[in-house]
Structure 1
Amino acid sequence: MKLLRLLVLLLALPVAAQQGGMWIPSLLKGMNEKEMKSLGMKMSASDIYDVNNSSLKDAVPHFNGGCTSEVISSQGLLLTNHHCGYGEIQAHSTIDHDYLTDGFWAMTMEEELPNPDMEVTFIVRIEDVTNQVLEGVPALTSEEDKQKKIQENISKLSNSLPKEKYQENKIRTFYEGNQYMLFVTETYKDVRLVGAPPSSIGKFGSDTDNWVWPRHTGDFSLFRIYANKDNLPAEYSEDNVPYTPKHFFPISLGGVKEDDFTLVFGYPGRTQEYLPAVAVQQIVEVLNPAKIGIRDAALKVTDGFMRKDKQIKIQYASKYASIANYWKKWIGESQGLTKSNAVAVKRAFEKDFLAKAKKAGKMEEYGNLFNDFDKYYAEIEPYQLSRDYFIEVAIRNTELLTIGYKLYQLEQVYNTRGEQSFTDRKNNTIASLESTYKDYSKQVDEKVFEQLIALYAEKSPAQFVPEELKNKDYSAFTKEVYTQSKITSYEGVKSLLSGDATTILEQLNNDKGYQVIKAMMQAYIEKVAPKYQEISLKIDALQRTYMKGILELSPKDARIFPDANSTMRITYGQVKGYEPRDAVYYEPVTYLDGVMEKYVPGDYEFDVPQKLIELYNNKDFGVYADKNGKMPVCFIGTNHTTGGNSGSPAIDAKGNLIGLNFDRVWEGTMSDIYYDPSICRNIMVDIRYVLFVIDKYAGDKRLIDEMKLVNVKKK
């Protein structure tokens, strides 16, 4: 049975037929369009992407550089995930106006809240510019020279290719450098918060249910795009008006059922579907366990404080969620890769690849690929592991060190650019750190530091750990640092940064906290980064050759999609349940009944608002209930998604909005590396639950009236 499964998976590489894949929307005509129609789609490829006419792509902006969103009204109303807008909801929250706990609903446009530095970006058109980017590159021999020439060409093209003055040219690489595409974009910078449910709805289940199915989370929030009087991008102004979109999504109340077609549009961040087997094995056995261990320690400390102190809970809510997200993802990813035997499947694919290369007379070009991969991944392992420890401990999870890192960068500005640049950077740093310290707790950070600095010193490769941090009593060392360092408060940092450049640098270098990050930085820069970069370039060159070989040696009708790189993609599939393990089957739809079954009064993850309980008990679901009178909450499908697809619209066969993507099932988080259609599922909020919360729970009927509802059933 295992052998049969292995053969099935091998034949499915790189992706199973008609499932999986993150496709460039401008290139859908042909195979993709046929596949989508075979799955039930009623639209054409031109309905999805068109330059000359409005199409679905015109309603799907990139949300603040990290998530996806969709326009759902003629007045620029924008829908995305609650967790995508979480930072802004938190920023507007105080003890007296706790929008995280209570939710926020603007009942008029005048009540909508501006968000400094928030932006959304639309794609105007996509063009292939591979030949222009690679001009002059093949004649070069050095990998460094090739990359330098490519960057020079990209810079020149970005500045010279036609666009409007309010637009931007962005060129991105695909297929590991074998293709380059131009994206012409428009970015709107006046985006205001319109509505958000309380976290007990928008984050229901919190970290326990994260990456888990069955799911019962109303993960949505609402914003609005504003433009100038000409409907063009503009900085925030009271004179701005709601944006008029080229297209917005009609919203279907028809519901979903098993095998319904689903299209997910979005900006998936990063996948590595074509990694060699040796790289996947290294991720599972070495790299993921290290990162999981670091975040596990940080989360346990932070969670303990958040449960006891409401102020700390508000301060750390967004940070905790961010840290926990990938901690849990890495756990599921490793489990999925192990369970699906991904390393063995990839080794079998590599064996088949070499057979094809031999048959095509291409062994001189491809014959040593996998031996070279084995060699360089073995060489890079200690450097990659040390890099991961440094980034996780110093840059992402210990705030004193993260702030210290910014101060270290300030010192480097002085060394490389002089005093004027130093002064400018210093003033910007002081201003930017004010918001950082608003959400900082010395007592939380001190306990996190104590745990993580010990892990860094004792678990990362010893040859790269600075001598100053070895063989310590880390409890006493932590107390010494947090007692003596001025980095533990905003006033302290401002005092460190007062005076002329010489005085400031002397004060920084005498600070105990700064001394720690500087020692870590110098060890990383001198001992880790150069060798890591050197070996990475060699691996990148091999990966590009491997990708070229896959494209060259595969049949013409092979389904080979480019890895995600935060550019616009579509992925299509169907509403599907799944069997994660023997004798276990999960239905594809969850209901409000499940929220009440999980309800734990007073629990910060599973509490439920009293009004939602009343609506449930009274079965007051309005037109949003299904045909059986139940209130749908979430559903799952076979769409191939990843980070960046948070907030992506889930679209039906006719182009109507039916849901909002926000997660994946735990068993299928490995899909960034290896997509297995038997267990990989994306999780979506049913749009009917979103509308039910806006209408029945919040009573913000003006928003419902703004939208175009289709397939509405009578009560």
Structure 2
Amino acid sequence: MRKLILSLIIAAFVLPVQANEGMWFLMHIERLNYRDMQKMGLQLTPEEIYSVNHSSLKDAIVQFDRGCTAEIISDSGLVLTNHHCGYSKIAELSTAENDYLTNGYWAANHAEELKPKSLSVRFFVRMDDVSKRILGQVNDKMSELDREAAINREIAKIQEENSEDGKYTVSVKSFYEGNEFYYFVYQDYNDVRLVGTPPASIGKFGGDTDNWEWPRHTGDFSLFRVYADKDGNPAEYSEDNVPLNPKHHLTTSLKGFEEDDFAMILGYPGRTNRWMPAGGIEQNVEYAYPAWVEASKTSMDVMKGYMDKDQSVKLDYASSYAGIANYWKNRQGMIDALKQHETADTKRKAEKKFQKWASKKSNKKYADVMPVINDYYSKTNEASQHDNYLGLLLRTRMATIPYRLGKSIGYYLEQNDAKKEELKPKLDAEIENLYEGLYVPLERDVLAAQFKLYSTKAKNIAPMVAEIADEANKTEDGWKEYLNDALQNSIFESKEKLQGFMANPDAEVLQKDPLLLLSNDLLTRYRYNSEEQKQWDNDFERAYRLMVQGMRLQNPDEKYYPDANSTLRLTYGKVISLPEDTRNDANKNYYTTLKGTVAKYQPGDAEFDMPKELIELYEKKDFGQYADKDGYLPVNFLTDNDITGGNSGSPVLNGKGELIGIAFDGNIEAMAGDVIFDDQLQRTISVDIRYVLFLIDKLAGASHIIDELTLAK
């Protein structure tokens, strides 16, 4: 539990909600938000946004690959999301000979749509409040572990009652730190195929340099399609499957928009925690995030050296590198923004007011809450630093493969011959899967660099690592030399070597394998929790839950929204500028144009190259029906919607519920947005849907895709 808490994106005290702040449950829109949304420009009814019995907007919004959002934009199951959301699947489908990630891909018909090995979308069916039912199973005398066990027993019942014999996936989640509970019913479709993607020079234009920056000029989109059986039900991949006819699909707007126009976003924001105290903010700024940043950069530097030399390696590691790079910049931006905002000081002032309220006799239940919380953070500061160094080390695949396969092989060797025969195909498949795309020289050098960093910067490190470090840290290449020797003497060095071992397996050889011993040491340390730590966690979790409960009682007239936790939410605001910026050629600083994109063009540059055909279209001003009424071709735009990670790919909708863009990023000035909502600086960066359609039609020549859409002109 400690590692889960320390990994949460931190957040600031819940202040009075701004008009554009909040990630709202759809079932609460009518009660909490509808009047405000109407005043700002919404023309839909609450029933048109969320309905259990009728088609509504929520039926067109899907969770994509469990980490992003996407939207259904045709009556044939066409799915629109970000390029970076589809990135790993596009890379998986690519080869050095057919490099779709670099060059793009457009299926001319359904038969040419490409199926990744594993990709699903999740449709939201309904939700309901089960707080009273679940909280009726617990009492204040329970330990946190007993409380959790009682809650989980009731959750299991709720899931079984609502799954309709496995037709639906049911998820029960806690909100307000365990003070409320809701269940969510979903339907998953696992046959999802790639329809089209622009080249990386468009989908990732600007690269790491422009990431989290404005002005932005990125065509961050990709297209997929959901397939079902002939009756429209979820089905595993089959050539007999047909494109899904969804309950609802979005209308796509070509009408454009103006500054101050209403804009709302529906999506699956991943994680916020806007209740976390000053101690948590300071812990992340001073200990946890600096370790994350340093360890991320260490991996990136090594990976990039290998990826630049070999296109196959680049494709195999493209998604992993992109994920590390994204959070590397995010965490550094968080550190800078939290310091600049002096967020911890703001929190501490609010906590003093809460403590004064809690000291009243009528509120004595909450009197010890803040002291317990502050004590917890002071005791776990160094542990948070350690866990981030070790966590990034464990993202290196060769650090965990021996552990994962060692357990499976060990279990296999304990069985009788009949059971071994049954287990062997599954074990062979696991070996194939874990070694796919693995490049040992890269893995070795990343691991060596991470071991050196971990063993010199973290405290209370894994015992075996500490023992090896006494010698390995004496020289620059000490860890490389150690790992070279360990690899040569390990059955886990390669898939082929491991398969050779499995032809005549020996339990003693397995148990003494140097990489397995090291991998076991790392995972054992990562999961270690002393009895003392367990008590700290118990006390902290209780205090944190009571803090949130008490703060809501302290300010009962406020409108509250629950923290993000990958459940469907709606956020609303407006199209809005940032202060004037000379780097943006647009007349107002809420949008960018293709002119600005071309101005950034640097031939041959990995981040700012672009297709010559796009430049030719710009020079001819061949924008077709996708140009703005003022003649320019829009690219990206800004709104003040409240989003976070997981919202990538979310639709940006106008007051009629029509699609005007796809959210893909935020601005670095408001990087503390998961921590404290800044009404003046908070911005969502989105791809203008007109740029998306222009690229599909004019650049890719895939007009058959345009013909699928319902267009509002």
Q: CA deviation at 1:167?
A: 1.6
Whether contact under 8 Å (1:386, 1:464) holds in the other structure is no
Distance 1:682 1:84, change over 3 A: same
Whether contact under 8 Å (2:191, 2:227) holds in the other structure is yes
The 2-side partners of 1:415 and 1:175 are apart by 47
Whether contact under 8 Å (1:410, 1:422) holds in the other structure is no
Distance 1:230 1:131, change over 3 A: same
Residue 478, structure 1, aligned to residue 483, structure 2 = yes
Letter of the 1:60 partner, please give it: I
Residue in structure 1 matched with residue 682 of structure 2 by the alignment = 680
Secondary structure at the aligned position of 1:495 is classed as helix
The 2-side partners of 1:120 and 1:609 are apart by 31
Secondary structure at the aligned position of 1:288 is classed as helix
The 2-side partners of 1:426 and 1:562 are apart by 46
The 2-side partners of 1:583 and 1:696 are apart by 27
Q: CA deviation at 1:13?
A: 4.0
Residue in structure 2 matched with residue 453 of structure 1 by the alignment = 451
Where in structure 2 are the equivalents of 1:620-659 lying within 5 Å? 620-659=622-661
Residue in structure 2 matched with residue 404 of structure 1 by the alignment = 402
Residue in structure 1 matched with residue 131 of structure 2 by the alignment = 130
Structure 1, 593-602 or 433-442: larger mean CA deviation:
433-442
The 2-side partners of 1:627 and 1:429 are apart by 60
CA displacement 1:385-442 (0-9 Å, x = unmatched): 3322222102x1x221131231244367579999988887775354134244332222
CA displacement 1:115-168 (0-9 Å, x = unmatched): 232111111111111122222212642221111000011011211246475222
Residue in structure 1 matched with residue 68 of structure 2 by the alignment = 67
Residue in structure 2 matched with residue 7 of structure 1 by the alignment = none
Secondary structure at the aligned position of 2:218 is classed as coil
Structure 1, 583-592 or 631-640: larger mean CA deviation:
583-592
Residue in structure 2 matched with residue 277 of structure 1 by the alignment = 278
Q: CA deviation at 1:482?
A: 3.6
Residue in structure 1 matched with residue 438 of structure 2 by the alignment = 440
The 2-side partners of 1:14 and 1:423 are apart by 61
Residue 106, structure 1, aligned to residue 107, structure 2 = yes
Residue in structure 2 matched with residue 250 of structure 1 by the alignment = 251
Where in structure 2 are the equivalents of 1:604-619 lying within 5 Å? 604-619=606-621
Where in structure 2 are the equivalents of 1:565-580 lying within 5 Å? 565-579=565-579
Distance 1:375 1:308, change over 3 A: same
Whether contact under 8 Å (2:259, 2:576) holds in the other structure is yes
Secondary structure at the aligned position of 1:177 is classed as coil
The 2-side partners of 1:11 and 1:300 are apart by 33
The 2-side partners of 1:415 and 1:134 are apart by 45
The 2-side partners of 1:603 and 1:264 are apart by 34
- Identical columns (%): 39
Residue in structure 2 matched with residue 392 of structure 1 by the alignment = 392
Residue in structure 1 matched with residue 702 of structure 2 by the alignment = 700
The 2-side partners of 1:305 and 1:138 are apart by 56
Whether contact under 8 Å (1:383, 1:532) holds in the other structure is no
Whether contact under 8 Å (2:287, 2:384) holds in the other structure is no
The 1-side partners of 2:624 and 2:618 are apart by 11
CA displacement 1:354-403 (0-9 Å, x = unmatched): 334456x4441122211111111122233333322222102x1x221131
Q: TM-score, normalised by structure 2?
A: 0.92
Residue 195, structure 1, aligned to residue 199, structure 2 = no
Structure 1, 424-433 or 211-220: larger mean CA deviation:
424-433
Structure 1, 222-231 or 662-671: larger mean CA deviation:
662-671
Residue in structure 1 matched with residue 601 of structure 2 by the alignment = 599
Q: CA deviation at 1:510?
A: 2.9
The 1-side partners of 2:410 and 2:535 are apart by 23
Match of 1:492 among 481, 489, 497: 497
The 1-side partners of 2:532 and 2:461 are apart by 13
Structure 1, 13-22 or 66-75: larger mean CA deviation:
13-22
Letter of the 2:436 partner, please give it: K
The 1-side partners of 2:415 and 2:250 are apart by 50
Letter of the 1:183 partner, please give it: F
Secondary structure at the aligned position of 1:187 is classed as strand
Residue in structure 1 matched with residue 227 of structure 2 by the alignment = 226
Residue 516, structure 1, aligned to residue 518, structure 2 = yes
Letter of the 1:243 partner, please give it: L
Letter of the 1:229 partner, please give it: K
The 2-side partners of 1:582 and 1:546 are apart by 46
The 2-side partners of 1:100 and 1:354 are apart by 54
Distance 1:701 1:579, change over 3 A: same
Whether contact under 8 Å (1:13, 1:349) holds in the other structure is no
Residue 381, structure 1, aligned to residue 386, structure 2 = no
Secondary structure at the aligned position of 2:259 is classed as coil
The 2-side partners of 1:69 and 1:192 are apart by 14
Residue in structure 2 matched with residue 469 of structure 1 by the alignment = 468
CA displacement 1:542-579 (0-9 Å, x = unmatched): 211111112222132x1321111111111111112224
Residue in structure 2 matched with residue 97 of structure 1 by the alignment = 98
Distance 1:372 1:165, change over 3 A: closer
Residue in structure 2 matched with residue 55 of structure 1 by the alignment = 56
Structure 1, 299-308 or 78-87: larger mean CA deviation:
299-308
The 2-side partners of 1:22 and 1:421 are apart by 50
CA displacement 1:469-511 (0-9 Å, x = unmatched): 33223243233234433423211232344445xx2x4233333
Whether contact under 8 Å (1:14, 1:560) holds in the other structure is no
Distance 1:461 1:11, change over 3 A: closer
Residue 26, structure 1, aligned to residue 27, structure 2 = yes
Whether contact under 8 Å (1:261, 1:574) holds in the other structure is yes
Q: TM-score, normalised by structure 1?
A: 0.92
The 1-side partners of 2:607 and 2:163 are apart by 51
Letter of the 2:638 partner, please give it: I
Distance 1:491 1:664, change over 3 A: same
The 1-side partners of 2:326 and 2:220 are apart by 14
Residue in structure 2 matched with residue 121 of structure 1 by the alignment = 122
The 2-side partners of 1:43 and 1:268 are apart by 23
The 2-side partners of 1:639 and 1:533 are apart by 39
The 2-side partners of 1:164 and 1:129 are apart by 20
Distance 1:67 1:363, change over 3 A: same
Residue 173, structure 1, aligned to residue 178, structure 2 = no
Letter of the 2:676 partner, please give it: Y
The 2-side partners of 1:448 and 1:662 are apart by 29
Whether contact under 8 Å (1:278, 1:374) holds in the other structure is yes
Letter of the 2:48 partner, please give it: D
Secondary structure at the aligned position of 2:225 is classed as strand
Whether contact under 8 Å (1:354, 1:363) holds in the other structure is no
Distance 1:413 1:351, change over 3 A: farther
Distance 1:532 1:106, change over 3 A: farther
The 2-side partners of 1:564 and 1:417 are apart by 45
Structure 1, 687-696 or 577-586: larger mean CA deviation:
577-586
Q: CA deviation at 1:608?
A: 0.3
Where in structure 2 are the equivalents of 1:124-163 lying within 5 Å? 124-138=125-139, 140-161=141-162, 163=164
The 2-side partners of 1:21 and 1:650 are apart by 15
The 2-side partners of 1:376 and 1:423 are apart by 50
Secondary structure at the aligned position of 2:646 is classed as coil
The 2-side partners of 1:420 and 1:631 are apart by 66
Secondary structure at the aligned position of 1:28 is classed as helix
The 2-side partners of 1:420 and 1:666 are apart by 59
Whether contact under 8 Å (2:162, 2:168) holds in the other structure is no
Root mean square deviation of aligned Cα:
2.6
Whether contact under 8 Å (1:14, 1:559) holds in the other structure is no
Residue in structure 2 matched with residue 337 of structure 1 by the alignment = 338
Residue in structure 2 matched with residue 561 of structure 1 by the alignment = 561
Letter of the 1:365 partner, please give it: K
Residue in structure 2 matched with residue 6 of structure 1 by the alignment = none
List alignment gaps of at least 5 residues for structure 1: 1-9
Whether contact under 8 Å (2:402, 2:515) holds in the other structure is yes
